[in-house]
Structure formats: structure tokens, C-alpha cells
């Protein structure tokens, strides 16, 4: 007799699928990766002061751009894809499977 997979293991598998779907959307990947770099170049060229001894604004700004990239990915993944999946009927099809709804959101959280 086969074991029934847990919600967490299904969520991890769903997370792999979400990452694969995201990587196939070229515009999303380019925007997510290049937008913080472009902002860093623009702000780094405008603000050339030193914040602390031996710390330039560009060095200080890198941490903010990394965080911005992560938050941007999270909001983009959740705020755009979930309504699109609902409009295309993907969420209704997922409700027809034995996968619990929590696994779907675990997969989305892995993408973030």
C-alpha cells in the first residue's frame, strides 16, 4: 500500500514547479534581476558621498537592492500570478486534485 504524501512534501514539489514556471517567464526574470542593478547604478552615480569611514553609498546601497529584489519577487509572484491563475481556471483545477490548499501556498512561499 502506498503512503499518502504530506502537505509539506506536496508543497515542496509545488515550489519546484513554481520556480520552473517563474524561470520560463523571461520578462519577469529580467525585470527581477536587472531592476535592482539598474537602480544601484543610477543611485550610485548620483550619491557619491561616504556614509561611514571607508563605506561608500554604493556599498551601503547594495544590501537595500538585494532586499528590494527579494521583496519585488515576492510581491510579483503573489500579487500577479494568483489572480491570473484564478482567471485562467487553474485554481479550480487544482481544487479538483487531492492536493491540499496549504500545499499550494507552501509552493508559493518557496518561490518567494
Domain-wise residue ranges, the chain: 7-111
Q: Looking at residue 1, what is its pLDDT?
A: 60
Angstrom distance (rounded) from CA 6 to CA 4:
6
50, burial (CB in 10 Å: exposed 0-12, middle 13-18, buried 19+): exposed
Angstrom distance (rounded) from CA 26 to CA 40:
21
- 77-108 per-position pLDDT tens digit: 688 888 989 999 999 998 998 889 899 989 98
Mean pLDDT of the chain: 85
Amino acid at each position: 500500500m502506498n503512503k499518502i504524501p504530506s502537505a509539506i512534501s506536496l508543497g515542496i514539489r509545488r515550489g519546484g514547479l513554481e520556480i520552473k514556471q517563474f524561470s520560463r517567464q523571461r520578462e519577469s526574470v529580467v525585470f527581477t534581476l536587472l531592476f535592482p542593478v539598474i537602480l544601484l547604478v543610477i543611485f550610485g552615480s548620483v550619491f557619491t558621498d561616504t556614509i561611514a569611514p571607508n563605506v561608500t553609498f554604493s556599498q551601503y546601497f547594495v544590501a537595500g537592492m538585494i532586499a528590494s529584489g527579494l521583496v519585488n519577487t515576492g510581491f510579483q509572484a503573489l500579487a500577479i500570478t494568483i489572480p491570473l491563475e484564478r482567471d485562467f481556471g487553474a485554481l479550480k483545477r487544482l481544487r479538483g486534485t487531492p492536493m491540499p490548499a496549504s500545499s499550494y501556498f507552501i509552493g508559493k512561499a518557496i518561490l518567494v
